[in-house]
């Protein structure tokens, strides 16, 4: 007897073109919708890369949010924005996921340019509560108190100081009835640590006795609801509707599981596949082996340094693995301090460590150091403390977009008195410069490198007064100064120029701040100097070098090639560098547009006994 086939139900997700469709959906279909969304996420993100684990954990939570609140009249702010993929799916952007984080495609974070449903492009953590506080107060002043304000805050983001500054204000003003949805999955990248994490654990364990139980949020003046199972849509909806009725600042504590519903993420104890590249959707593992990266080279060298230098300690702001400190933490667990998403505290804590005779290494994304500039300036540099800052993701990062590109750090750090900033061009230079930085006493040092593959090594022909000379010719009239990894592009450009009869000297200054005075002497020996850096022009290496070289002979000119003074969109690193003029072909075009290069070509051609026209 043949079994009767079970009819397949039609998919639900294609019919969800916006929150209104979701609100019309019968409750019994919500579990099926959640399953479809998880399958959609795994399928799309495995092709493009992106934040997978965090979004798998907020599927039901986001469904409930959009069934209870009426976005965009009600404002929903996600903190951090990498957990907003489901929000994008439910607000009409399913088709865009085919080009997630690709050039001109869907952003990996909330984007006001994409949708009215996105309130703020907050990919830096711990900001949502402050946005929400201002939104609620603004709506009240403008007579729009009917508009609800919801902040979805991960427990990792809640380790940041800005959250507590905002909670301090929210709890004191019942006229700003912000609903704080605490997405508690026990993790940032890895497990969340600190006193707050312990408190949330106590609240979860005391769930059966929660009525009337005092807690930190209640003591700050906010109402508290929960804990609620964040994967139970009806339960979350009920808690959110109760929060609305309270009409006061309230925390809705939702317990979720990062990576929920996807086996590889649930079994990944490291970070639950927090952020992935292109992966095999069956395993969650990279589709192709990855070459060594700048981060991995730094990671290995830090362990070697730790063995030789017992005074070296490491500080990170919830980025133990992404910044390459995982190996150091395994080898020296007592010498690593993860302070949570709190860059300001990390830097000043490092200052305190240095005051005891230790040498702290603060590993942080370049764009995240912006948040702790005052602490670096006044708490470290003012006291001339030996703290080394290792800035990962410097320059163009690629698909993470404007908030993650490290385009400002070189300009900011160059303004810090007494700070030395190194920019390695290859793995060997990274190791050498890191050791020099850590051996430096009497002031801070910094090292910056990109999110990219590292190597191969680019050997120097010789080393002159602290400058590596990578290419030279007796009749070279053009000088190319390439910072760090862009030295490779300068060497390629020099080859292309040579085919046109223009010889160029290529040097790597190794240290971007302070500027080596010998570079001006080199520039004086050439008709044209072109500086090449992956940092904005304002306050950058090229601008400072041109200012420092005002005494050059009148025939010597300086041109700078740098990133635009703008927020660079997301896209492939190689393509974005080319658009900014930071590839070999663009450097050649920059040289050829300068009148000085024509004179250089004429002199080179005459010196070689041939005409410029004969060069092909």
Query: Over the stretch 183-219, which tens digit does the pLDDT of each residue have?
Result: 998 876 667 778 888 888 888 887 655 555 678 999 9
Judge whether 125 is annotated as a binding position.
yes
CA–CA separation, 502 and 591 (whole Å): 10
The reported pLDDT for the residue numbered 615 is 22
Averaged pLDDT for residues 422-433: 98
Judge whether 349 is annotated as a binding position.
no
Q: Would residue 455 count as lying in a domain?
A: no
Would the pLDDT of 546 be above 80? yes
Q: Would residue 585 count as lying in a domain?
A: yes
Residues 260, 122: one domain? yes
Judge whether 146 is annotated as a binding position.
no
The reported pLDDT for the residue numbered 114 is 93
The reported pLDDT for the residue numbered 182 is 95
The reported pLDDT for the residue numbered 361 is 98
The reported pLDDT for the residue numbered 188 is 67
Counting residues of the chain whose pLDDT is more than 90, the rounded percentage is 76
Confidence class of residue 600 from pLDDT cuts 50, 70 and 90? Answer: low
Q: Would residue 531 count as lying in a domain?
A: yes
Per the structure, the count of domains in the chain is 3
Would the pLDDT of 471 be above 60? yes
- Is there a catalytic annotation at residue 300? no
Residues 182, 315: one domain? no
CA–CA separation, 230 and 612 (whole Å): 72
Q: Would residue 508 count as lying in a domain?
A: yes
Would the pLDDT of 596 be above 90? no
Would the pLDDT of 613 be above 90? no
Residues 319, 321, 323, 325, CA torsion sign: positive
CB 351 within 8 A of CB 387: yes
Residues 169, 243: one domain? yes
- Is there a catalytic annotation at residue 321? no
The reported pLDDT for the residue numbered 310 is 98
Residues 92, 193: one domain? yes
Residues 78, 182: one domain? yes
Judge whether 107 is annotated as a binding position.
no
Residues 175, 84: one domain? yes
Confidence class of residue 3 from pLDDT cuts 50, 70 and 90? Answer: low
Who contacts 498 (Cβ-Cβ below 8 Å, separation ≥6)? 473, 504
- By residue range, what is the domain housing residue 54? 13-20+29-276
Q: Would residue 514 count as lying in a domain?
A: yes
Q: Which token pair is 112?
A: 């006001």
Would the pLDDT of 6 be above 60? no
Judge whether 405 is annotated as a binding position.
no
Would the pLDDT of 597 be above 70? no
Closest C-alpha among 111, 132, 113, 133 to residue 122: 111
Would the pLDDT of 8 be above 80? no
Averaged pLDDT for residues 458-467: 96
Would the pLDDT of 269 be above 50? yes
Counting residues of the chain whose pLDDT is more than 70, the rounded percentage is 93
The reported pLDDT for the residue numbered 553 is 75
Residues 520, 556: one domain? yes
Averaged pLDDT for residues 532-556: 89
Judge whether 165 is annotated as a binding position.
no
Q: Which token pair is 440?
A: 């430096």
CB 227 within 8 A of CB 210: yes
Q: Would residue 423 count as lying in a domain?
A: yes
CATH number at residue 181: 3.40.50.970
Residues 81, 184: one domain? yes
The residues pairing with 360 across neighbouring beta strands, listed in sequence order, are 313
Residues 53, 154: one domain? yes
Query: Over the stretch 315-356, which tens digit does the pLDDT of each residue have?
Result: 999 999 999 999 999 999 999 999 999 999 999 999 999 999
CA–CA separation, 344 and 365 (whole Å): 13
Query: Over the stretch 102-121, which tens digit does the pLDDT of each residue have?
Result: 999 999 999 999 999 999 88
Domain boundary among 241, 276, 311: 276
Q: Residues 559, 491, 587, CA angle at the centre, nearest 5°? A: 35
The reported pLDDT for the residue numbered 213 is 64
Would the pLDDT of 499 be above 50? yes
Q: Would residue 614 count as lying in a domain?
A: no
Decide which of 536 and 154 is more confident: 536
Averaged pLDDT for residues 389-400: 94
- Is there a catalytic annotation at residue 371? yes
Per the prediction, the chain carries an average pLDDT of: 91
The reported pLDDT for the residue numbered 611 is 30
Averaged pLDDT for residues 476-499: 97
The single residue of 38, 67, 187, 258 carrying the catalytic annotation is 258
The single residue of 38, 93, 187, 371 carrying the catalytic annotation is 371
Averaged pLDDT for residues 412-430: 97
In eight-state DSSP terms, residue 172 is T
Residues 408, 493: one domain? no
Domain boundary among 416, 448, 480: 448
Closest C-alpha among 168, 182, 183 to residue 133: 168
Query: Over the stretch 231-264, which tens digit does the pLDDT of each residue have?
Result: 999 999 999 999 999 999 999 999 999 999 999 9
Lowest-confidence segment of 50-59, 492-501, 510-519, 605-614 by average pLDDT: 605-614
The residues pairing with 450 across neighbouring beta strands, listed in sequence order, are none
Judge whether 82 is annotated as a binding position.
yes
Residues 215, 156: one domain? yes
- Give 433-438's long-range contacts (Cβ < 8 A, gap of 24+): 433/510, 433/511, 434/298, 434/301, 434/302, 434/305, 434/388, 434/390, 435/301, 435/305, 437/388, 438/305, 438/309, 438/312, 438/359, 438/361, 438/388
CATH number at residue 578: 3.40.50.920
Q: Which token pair is 243?
A: 């929060």
The residues pairing with 338 across neighbouring beta strands, listed in sequence order, are 316
Residues 526, 486: one domain? yes
Q: Would residue 586 count as lying in a domain?
A: yes
Would the pLDDT of 606 be above 70? no
Q: How many CA atoms lie within 13 A of 49 on its CB side?
A: 14
The single residue of 343, 503, 533, 596 carrying the catalytic annotation is 343
CB 389 within 8 A of CB 364: yes
Would the pLDDT of 19 be above 50? yes
């Amino acid at each position: 007897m043949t079994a009767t086939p079970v009819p397949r139900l039609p998919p639900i997700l294609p019919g969800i073109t916006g929150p209104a469709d979701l609100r019309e959906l019968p409750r019994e279909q919500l579990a099926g919708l959640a399953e479809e969304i998880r399958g959609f996420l795994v399928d799309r993100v495995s092709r493009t890369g992106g934040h997978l684990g965090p979004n798998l954990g907020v599927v039901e939570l986001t469904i409930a949010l959009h069934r209870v609140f009426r976005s965009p009249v009600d404002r929903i702010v996600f903190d951090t924005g990498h957990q907003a993929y489901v929000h994008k799916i439910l607000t009409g952007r399913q088709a865009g996921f085919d080009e997630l984080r690709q050039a001109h495609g869907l952003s990996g974070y909330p984007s006001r340019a994409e949708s009215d449903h996105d309130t703020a492009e907050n990919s830096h953590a711990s900001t949502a509560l402050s946005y929400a506080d201002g939104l609620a107060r603004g709506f009240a002043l403008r007579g729009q108190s009917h508009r609800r304000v919801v902040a979805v805050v991960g427990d990792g983001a809640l380790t940041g100081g800005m959250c507590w500054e905002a909670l301090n204000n929210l709890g004191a003003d019942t006229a700003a009835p912000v609903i704080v949805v605490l997405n508690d999955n026990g993790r940032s990248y890895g497990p969340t640590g600190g006193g707050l994490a312990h408190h949330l654990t106590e609240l979860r364990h005391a769930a059966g006795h929660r009525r009337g139980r005092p807690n930190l949020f209640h003591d700050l003046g906010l109402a508290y609801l929960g804990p609620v199972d964040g994967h139970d849509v009806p339960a979350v909806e009920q808690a959110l509707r109760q929060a609305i009725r309270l009409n006061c600042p309230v925390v809705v504590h939702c317990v979720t599981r990062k990576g929920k519903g996807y086996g590889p993420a649930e079994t990944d104890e490291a970070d639950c596949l927090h952020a992935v590249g292109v992966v095999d959707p069956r395993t969650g593992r990279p589709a192709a082996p990855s070459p060594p990266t700048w981060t991995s080279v730094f990671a290995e060298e830090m362990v070697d340094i730790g063995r030789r230098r017992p005074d070296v300690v490491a500080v990170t702001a919830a980025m133990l693995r992404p910044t390459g400190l995982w190996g150091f933490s395994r080898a020296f667990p007592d010498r690593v301090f993860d302070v949570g998403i709190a860059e300001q505290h990390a830097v000043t804590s490092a200052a305190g460590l240095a005051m005891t005779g230790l040498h702290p290494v603060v590993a942080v994304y370049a764009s995240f150091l912006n948040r702790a500039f005052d602490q670096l300036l006044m708490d470290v540099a003012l006291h001339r403390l030996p703290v080394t800052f290792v800035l990962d993701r410097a320059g163009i990062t690629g698909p993470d977009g404007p908030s993650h590109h490290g385009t400002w750090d070189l300009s900011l750090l160059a303004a810090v008195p007494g700070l030395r900033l190194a920019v390695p061009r290859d793995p060997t230079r990274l190791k050498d410069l890191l050791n020099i930085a850590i051996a430096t006493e009497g002031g801070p040092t910094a090292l910056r490198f990109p999110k990219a593959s590292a190597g191969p090594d680019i050997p120097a022909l010789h080393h002159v007064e602290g400058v590596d000379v990578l290419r030279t010719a007796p009749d070279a009239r053009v000088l190319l100064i390439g910072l760090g990894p862009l030295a490779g592009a300068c060497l390629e450009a020099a080859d292309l120029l040579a085919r046109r009869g223009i010889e160029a000297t290529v040097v790597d200054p190794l240290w971007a701040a302070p500027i080596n005075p010998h570079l001006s002497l080199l520039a004086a020996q050439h008709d044209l100097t072109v500086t090449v850096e992956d940092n904005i022009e304002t306050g950058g290496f090229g601008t400072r070098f041109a200012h420092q070289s005002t005494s050059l002979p009148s025939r010597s000119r300086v041109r700078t090639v740098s990133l635009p003074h703008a927020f660079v969109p997301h896209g492939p690193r190689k393509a974005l560098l080319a658009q900014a003029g930071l590839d070999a072909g663009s450097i050649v075009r920059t040289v050829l547009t300068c009148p000085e290069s024509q004179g250089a070509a004429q002199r080179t051609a005459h010196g070689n006994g041939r005409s410029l026209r004969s060069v092909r």
